[in-house]
């Protein structure tokens, strides 16, 4: 969808919702090029002001969607960026690398499945070897697969995958990185409105997102004396490859209309929240969860 076709001043009309073609399922994990409507990651709109000059950021799931938008924004703010991604997401990862390097910053990629603790360790080691350290850790990668039948349709294999991807990997990455992160560093976790407004088809996913909010609060308290801040961003319905790859077609059609804004959000609209949490302007903010939900309340 063209950003220029809509009203930049009216948030409700800034973007159109997914069109009918976009409701077609795509194979998981989903690539950006397979989507009927291409998400906006801020390619033409995000302007950096040097807020993260010289910082070194790690972003899991940085190949597409929210992760790509955050990688682009961080790079344009002056940070070098390492992204992790699944091997089958290589085409999207290459495009994110192009955007990071186009901003004049170093890009590093680590393919692999973060359900494997060794992959999480490799991500941290590569960040120190190729960027010299980690100042910003964004735990963004997640797995979901909607099951309309609820709990009786969720297999042990799916439950294990959701838990390992969304919770275990975050724990492993933080435990590996924290002892080597300097004071002034920031950890930012991607939660979800599902943590508060949970739905039966996403029972396992919602459970992990509530866990991420609790993890964020506890880790923030524990790391405050070390000068490391920990916060979370809770997206509402955001148009990324995960949606047509994991949700029934009838849920994808009209995706986001239930919000007060009446539309789905775009990855580009999430990136400024991550920049804020990573920047010195947020020096007295830790343990918080910021909703970017189109007006749906985090109750």
Instruction: Write phi, then psi, for 141 (nearest 5 degrees).
Output: -60, 140
With both helix axes pointing from N to C terminus, report the angle between 203-223 and 156-163 in degrees, rounded to the nearest 10.
20
Catalytic residue (choose from 46, 143, 205, 274):
205
In whole angstroms, give the CA distance from residue 212 to residue 187. Answer: 12
| Helix (H/G/I), strand (E/B), else coil: 66 | helix
What is the gyration radius of the CA atoms in the chain, in angstroms? 18
Q: Residue 72 corresponds to which tokens in the numbers above?
A: 């682009």
In whole angstroms, give the CA distance from residue 224 to residue 56. Answer: 20
Residues 6+ apart with CB under 8 A from 24: 36, 244, 249
Q: Are strands 289-292 and 56-60 parallel, antiparallel or unpaired?
A: unpaired
Q: Please say if 205 is a catalytic residue.
A: yes
**Catalytic residue list:** 205
């Amino acid at each position: 969808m063209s950003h220029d076709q809509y009203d930049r001043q009216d948030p409700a009309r800034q973007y159109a919702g997914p069109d009918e073609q976009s409701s077609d399922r795509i194979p998981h994990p989903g690539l950006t090029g397979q989507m009927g409507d291409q998400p906006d990651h801020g390619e033409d709109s995000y302007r950096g002001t040097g807020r993260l000059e010289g910082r070194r950021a790690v972003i899991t799931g940085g190949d597409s969607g929210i992760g790509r938008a955050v990688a682009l924004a961080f790079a344009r703010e002056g940070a070098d960026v390492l992204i992790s991604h699944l091997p089958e997401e290589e085409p999207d990862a290459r495009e994110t690398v192009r955007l990071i390097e186009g901003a004049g910053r170093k890009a590093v990629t680590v393919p692999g499945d973060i359900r494997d603790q060794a992959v999480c360790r490799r991500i941290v080691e590569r960040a120190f070897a190729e960027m010299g350290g980690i100042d910003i850790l964004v735990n963004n990668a997640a797995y979901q697969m909607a099951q309309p039948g609820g709990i009786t349709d969720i297999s042990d294999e799916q439950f294990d995958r959701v838990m390992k991807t969304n919770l275990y990997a975050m724990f492993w990455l933080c435990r590996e990185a924290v002892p080597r992160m300097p004071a002034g560093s920031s950890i930012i976790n991607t939660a979800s409105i599902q943590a508060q407004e949970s739905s039966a088809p996403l029972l396992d996913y919602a459970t992990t997102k509530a866990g991420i909010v609790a993890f964020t609060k506890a880790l923030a308290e524990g790391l405050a004396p070390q000068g490391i801040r920990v916060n979370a961003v809770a997206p509402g319905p955001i148009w990324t490859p995960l949606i047509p790859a994991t949700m029934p077609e009838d849920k994808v059609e009209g995706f986001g209309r239930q919000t007060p804004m009446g539309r789905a959000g775009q990855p580009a609209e999430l990136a400024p929240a991550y920049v804020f949490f990573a920047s010195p302007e947020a020096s007295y903010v830790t343990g918080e969860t910021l909703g970017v939900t189109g007006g749906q309340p985090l109750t």
